[in-house]
A and B are shown apart, each in its own frame.
Chain A
């Protein structure tokens, strides 16, 4: 068994650990179900580490398929796997070599995992490259927390890296700083002023930007003004060939020296982030060490953010990021409301009014992602909206919002809107 070689470690608490039971610790490793979000550069490393640390029950979710450019670091994949779903191939690779570890692939967006399934995990580890997905996982786990139910608290370990830099953090939803608390730490995307792109290019990047942002559309319009515009797609070789040719012509026109390659052009269009095996391994390993400590209690956990840079020597810095009181996600406690499918919306409104001393609440369905619009259920004001949503009050909850996870409640008594997580009974 994977943990037997660490028996001595677990049996000797050492000078830094709070008291813990080695038997319980071992059992916890064997029974805790972990969700790994992402089966890419970080995901592959996380899966192997977790399996070798003795975890036996892991789900891995990723909607992507394997690409050739992944192979320099996503080491569970081979050339023959290109085109296959990452989660599936990763799970198979781990299973083959570590049969004691059960890895279940989920080939879908993490946002599509049902709440009741999320509830079954003890720990979530994210190796994502998407801010949006991270925010969703973070907000969902924060909203899940019910002070009366210790099991509802799922620790979130989040890792990210780029080139020779990266970070790992431990988020205890509602307790520590969450991902949303520190959104302003994210760097903003590089943009070029439009007049430079349109009229006064000086660098090769300006020419590439001009080609795919402005000229592509213009040429499409010229060819056939009536038909629908085909969006520029950097995955298509014909489009990329056109881009390199067109951008190079422009560079020549303005006497800008240098050569535009497919690689450099792709980097600009797709905003490609450089990535190497070692940095992915470092960050993933840091995340998994925290997972091990969290589950066993055999040493203190990271509180709560570790930055790493490796381009000039080796440098890490660990610090405690502060929880923001006004954080839109964790600034207000998560509220859990049991609902019955049969009961009408009016019953829910009344319960909310009573429990939270509200005067005249408005309810809407909280969107699942930033692209889905909010759906109003009942608006107490203004009068025109009240009139149009009044009929919803008599409709059953099941009919109105089946499967939905949470409501947003606003009221004159509340300083900000309140998110109410629904527990369907």
Chain B
């Protein structure tokens, strides 16, 4: 194995070469240097992200800054971004790390196109509302991922905003669809062959799939019109009569999988969401291959009332040649279905005046194989959330961490208004924070509860200071979300995770 394969071996086992390649071709920009931002970067650099740019105009101030493993005593009074870039670069020579000495507020005001080439932008501090909306709307329109991190004392949050979050490999397959309710001709024929073999000593080698398919074929004519529960019982009895001896494992497997021929192939709600989406229905020049292929699969479903066969077969008690041949039957069917989908894809490409080979056969086969896992996750824009966060009924759940969300919103308002963090050691500060809390809750049509007050009191303990391990926790979660987005594998957070390290708890919300 190459040096590269060896170094990244443990993570390649999670997202494979395709995922790794996406990470290595990605670039990320961090706004503001603090513990939580640094920790997030560290967890992107170690797995090998392509490029990082760090944006901040401040100098290192060891008397005020939290202890930071990547900024030491020697860096005092020097540029934060330059020192950080140098120290972080030692973590992984594969990563290109740049620094830009500038105030993020200035960049957002007068040079927002600076962000246009990044895949991910991470904000490690708060921005005034106007600038936050301007930045996030820009990123949304450019389809750039945005993450906002907060870390104050024992609390914090991660807010994720991913435009066009389409994922094929969510690694989340509920149950393998073996299509035993609609066996095709080759599958029936193969199953029949296995049963008509003369040698009984290979009886135990027949895979349960063949047992079920053949059983259903045999009982078909007699069963017409019977309700499925009755047919299932009849099948079960038939299987038992076929067993040569008790505990014949492959027949036991057939019995425990007896439900499969009677399970209708429903299209999952996740797939329905994808098919119904306007991106799928109305293809245009900007459509990504995800939507073009999903549109084709949608047409396949309309025609055949099921998704393409995936071709994946789980291991089962069977002889080698029986299993391998059965696998071939499935893979052949998968290929045939994929070719039908390819037809639709090519028609789509023609209509969009795109070259026929702009979507490869391999890509189409991958889609057909993994279609049951696919997800399209719709995020709310930051602007929408700021103006009207989606709040479930608060009063009912005492355990919920929602009060912290309110406390953070008020924290941001406080900072924007007074240019400092709420500080529990100053009574004037406490009063101002409480005032804002009342204002804010009133704007939502509520009054501050005890939980909200407690949250505000807890957050103001540190007067804005970070606890390193809490920042490390939050930064790492954020980095992981960025990686899930970049690799287009696994399922990202939608859209906020609130962290309460005082009680070792987190809770996720879609605000």
Mutual binders A and B: yes
Whether B477 sits at the interface, judged by CB under 8 Å, is yes
Chain A residue total in the interface (Cβ 8 A): 74
Task: Report the separation of the CA atoms of residues A274 and B501 in the bound assembly, to the nearest whole angstrom.
Answer: 26
- Interface 1/0s, chain B 294-334, versus A by CB < 8 A? 00000000000000000000011011110110010000000
Q: For residue B3, which residues in chain A have a CB less than 8 angstroms away from its CB? A: 68
Interface residues of B in 466-511 (CB under 8 A from A): 467-470, 472-473, 475-477, 479-481, 483, 490-494, 497, 501-506, 508
- Interface 1/0s, chain B 316-356, versus A by CB < 8 A? 10111101100100000000000000000000000000000
Whether B224 sits at the interface, judged by CB under 8 Å, is no
Task: Report the separation of the CA atoms of residues A5 and B467 in the bound assembly, to the nearest whole angstrom.
Answer: 9
Q: For residue A69, which residues in chain B have a CB less than 8 angstroms away from its CB? A: 6-7, 9-10
Whether B243 sits at the interface, judged by CB under 8 Å, is no
Whether B163 sits at the interface, judged by CB under 8 Å, is no
Whether B462 and A313, one on each chain, are in contact in the complex, defined by CB atoms closer than 8 angstroms, is: no
Whether A288 sits at the interface, judged by CB under 8 Å, is yes
Q: For residue A98, which residues in chain B have a CB less than 8 angstroms away from its CB? A: 67, 69, 72
Whether A52 and B477, one on each chain, are in contact in the complex, defined by CB atoms closer than 8 angstroms, is: no
Whether B504 and A286, one on each chain, are in contact in the complex, defined by CB atoms closer than 8 angstroms, is: yes
Task: Report the separation of the CA atoms of residues A291 and B472 in the bound assembly, to the nearest whole angstrom.
Answer: 14
Whether A352 sits at the interface, judged by CB under 8 Å, is no
Whether A12 and B425, one on each chain, are in contact in the complex, defined by CB atoms closer than 8 angstroms, is: yes
At the interface with chain B, which of A70-78, A135-143, A402-410?
A: A70-78
Interface residues of A in 246-291 (CB under 8 A from B): 254-257, 262-263, 267, 272-279, 281-282, 284-286, 288-291
Q: For residue B462, which residues in chain A have a CB less than 8 angstroms away from its CB? A: 6, 8-9
Task: Report the separation of the CA atoms of residues A148 and B14 in the bound assembly, to the nearest whole angstrom.
Answer: 50
Whether B461 sits at the interface, judged by CB under 8 Å, is yes
| Contacting residue for A274 out of B13, B154, B315, B475, CB 8 A | B13
Given contacts A72-B7, A256-B324, A313-B508, contact A202 B318 (CB under 8 A): yes
At the interface with chain B, which of A172-180, A299-307, A328-336, A365-373?
A: A299-307
Whether B65 sits at the interface, judged by CB under 8 Å, is yes
Tell me the minimal C-beta distance from B190 to chain A in angstroms: 15
Q: For residue A300, which residues in chain B have a CB less than 8 angstroms away from its CB? A: 502-503
Whether A221 sits at the interface, judged by CB under 8 Å, is no
Tell me the minimal C-beta distance from B489 to chain A in angstroms: 9
Task: Report the separation of the CA atoms of residues A267 and B91 in the bound assembly, to the nearest whole angstrom.
Answer: 26
Whether B470 and A289, one on each chain, are in contact in the complex, defined by CB atoms closer than 8 angstroms, is: yes
Q: For residue A275, which residues in chain B have a CB less than 8 angstroms away from its CB? A: 10-11
Q: For residue B65, which residues in chain A have a CB less than 8 angstroms away from its CB? A: 5
Q: For residue A267, which residues in chain B have a CB less than 8 angstroms away from its CB? A: 13
Tell me the minimal C-beta distance from B12 to chain A in angstroms: 7
Whether B69 and A51, one on each chain, are in contact in the complex, defined by CB atoms closer than 8 angstroms, is: yes
Q: For residue A97, which residues in chain B have a CB less than 8 angstroms away from its CB? A: 69, 72
Whether B46 sits at the interface, judged by CB under 8 Å, is yes
Tell me the minimal C-beta distance from A221 to chain B in angstroms: 25
Tell me the minimal C-beta distance from A154 to chain B in angstroms: 20
Whether B412 sits at the interface, judged by CB under 8 Å, is no
Task: Report the separation of the CA atoms of residues A15 and B301 in the bound assembly, to the nearest whole angstrom.
Answer: 57
Q: For residue A12, which residues in chain B have a CB less than 8 angstroms away from its CB? A: 424-425, 460-461
Whether A277 and B64, one on each chain, are in contact in the complex, defined by CB atoms closer than 8 angstroms, is: no
Whether B458 sits at the interface, judged by CB under 8 Å, is yes
| Contacting residue for A14 out of B43, B69, B424, B476, CB 8 A | B424
Task: Report the separation of the CA atoms of residues A321 and B320 in the bound assembly, to the nearest whole angstrom.
Answer: 45
Q: Which of B68, B505, B506 has the most CB of A within 10 A?
A: B506
- Interface 1/0s, chain B 387-423, versus A by CB < 8 A? 0000000000000000000000000000000000001
Whether B447 sits at the interface, judged by CB under 8 Å, is no
Interface residues of B in 35-76 (CB under 8 A from A): 35, 39, 42-43, 46-48, 63-69, 72-73
| Contacting residue for A8 out of B5, B423, B490, CB 8 A | B423
Whether B503 and A254, one on each chain, are in contact in the complex, defined by CB atoms closer than 8 angstroms, is: no
Q: For residue B320, which residues in chain A have a CB less than 8 angstroms away from its CB? A: 200-202, 254-256
Whether A255 and B324, one on each chain, are in contact in the complex, defined by CB atoms closer than 8 angstroms, is: yes
Whether A9 and B465, one on each chain, are in contact in the complex, defined by CB atoms closer than 8 angstroms, is: yes
Q: For residue B483, which residues in chain A have a CB less than 8 angstroms away from its CB? A: 276, 278
Nearest neighbor of B327 in chain A, beta-carbon distance: A257
Given contacts A8-B463, A282-B473, A289-B501, contact A277 B468 (CB under 8 A): no
Whether B469 and A285, one on each chain, are in contact in the complex, defined by CB atoms closer than 8 angstroms, is: yes
Q: For residue B497, which residues in chain A have a CB less than 8 angstroms away from its CB? A: 314
| Contacting residue for A292 out of B14, B457, B467, CB 8 A | B467
Whether B287 sits at the interface, judged by CB under 8 Å, is no
Whether A78 and B458, one on each chain, are in contact in the complex, defined by CB atoms closer than 8 angstroms, is: no
Q: For residue B473, which residues in chain A have a CB less than 8 angstroms away from its CB? A: 281-282, 285-286, 289
Whether A49 and B469, one on each chain, are in contact in the complex, defined by CB atoms closer than 8 angstroms, is: yes
Nearest neighbor of B456 in chain A, beta-carbon distance: A15
Whether B200 sits at the interface, judged by CB under 8 Å, is no
Whether B476 and A282, one on each chain, are in contact in the complex, defined by CB atoms closer than 8 angstroms, is: yes
Whether A85 sits at the interface, judged by CB under 8 Å, is no
Nearest neighbor of A240 in chain B, beta-carbon distance: B1
Task: Report the separation of the CA atoms of residues A12 and B154 in the bound assembly, to the nearest whole angstrom.
Answer: 13
Q: For residue A53, which residues in chain B have a CB less than 8 angstroms away from its CB? A: 67, 467-469
Q: For residue B506, which residues in chain A have a CB less than 8 angstroms away from its CB? A: 314-316
Q: For residue A310, which residues in chain B have a CB less than 8 angstroms away from its CB? A: 477, 480, 490
Whether A28 sits at the interface, judged by CB under 8 Å, is no
Whether A312 sits at the interface, judged by CB under 8 Å, is yes
| Contacting residue for B46 out of A75, A200, A316, CB 8 A | A75
Whether B47 and A277, one on each chain, are in contact in the complex, defined by CB atoms closer than 8 angstroms, is: yes
Nearest neighbor of B471 in chain A, beta-carbon distance: A285
Given contacts A97-B69, A289-B473, contact A277 B43 (CB under 8 A): yes
Whether B493 and A314, one on each chain, are in contact in the complex, defined by CB atoms closer than 8 angstroms, is: yes
Whether A289 and B491, one on each chain, are in contact in the complex, defined by CB atoms closer than 8 angstroms, is: no
Task: Report the separation of the CA atoms of residues A49 and B472 in the bound assembly, to the nearest whole angstrom.
Answer: 8
Whether A52 and B154, one on each chain, are in contact in the complex, defined by CB atoms closer than 8 angstroms, is: no
Q: For residue B508, which residues in chain A have a CB less than 8 angstroms away from its CB? A: 313-315
Whether B117 sits at the interface, judged by CB under 8 Å, is no
Interface residues of A in 192-218 (CB under 8 A from B): 200-203
Whether A182 sits at the interface, judged by CB under 8 Å, is no
Whether B195 sits at the interface, judged by CB under 8 Å, is no
Q: For residue B454, which residues in chain A have a CB less than 8 angstroms away from its CB? A: 15-16
Given contacts A45-B472, A164-B14, A202-B323, contact A263 B467 (CB under 8 A): no
| Contacting residue for B490 out of A164, A262, A274, CB 8 A | A164
| Contacting residue for B64 out of A5, A285, A312, CB 8 A | A5
Q: For residue B475, which residues in chain A have a CB less than 8 angstroms away from its CB? A: 281
Whether B205 sits at the interface, judged by CB under 8 Å, is yes
Task: Report the separation of the CA atoms of residues A15 and B430 in the bound assembly, to the nearest whole angstrom.
Answer: 14
Whether B477 and A318, one on each chain, are in contact in the complex, defined by CB atoms closer than 8 angstroms, is: no
Whether B172 sits at the interface, judged by CB under 8 Å, is yes
Task: Report the separation of the CA atoms of residues A88 and B414 in the bound assembly, to the nearest whole angstrom.
Answer: 47
Whether A233 sits at the interface, judged by CB under 8 Å, is no
Whether A263 and B12, one on each chain, are in contact in the complex, defined by CB atoms closer than 8 angstroms, is: yes
Q: For residue B215, which residues in chain A have a CB less than 8 angstroms away from its CB? A: none
Whether B12 and A281, one on each chain, are in contact in the complex, defined by CB atoms closer than 8 angstroms, is: no
The 6 closest A-B pairs by CB, nearest first: A281-B476, A52-B468, A285-B473, A285-B472, A274-B13, A9-B462
7 contacts between A and B (CB under 8 A): A5-B65, A8-B465, A9-B467, A52-B67, A72-B46, A263-B13, A276-B11
- Which B residues form the contact surface with A (CB < 8 A)? 1, 3, 5-14, 35, 39, 42-43, 46-48, 63-69, 72-73, 90-91, 153-154, 158, 170-172, 205, 315-316, 318-321, 323-324, 327, 423-425, 454, 457-458, 460-463, 465, 467-470, 472-473, 475-477, 479-481, 483, 490-494, 497, 501-506, 508
User: 4 additional contacts, CB 8 Å, given A72-B8, A73-B10, A289-B470?
Assistant: A52-B469, A267-B13, A286-B469, A289-B504
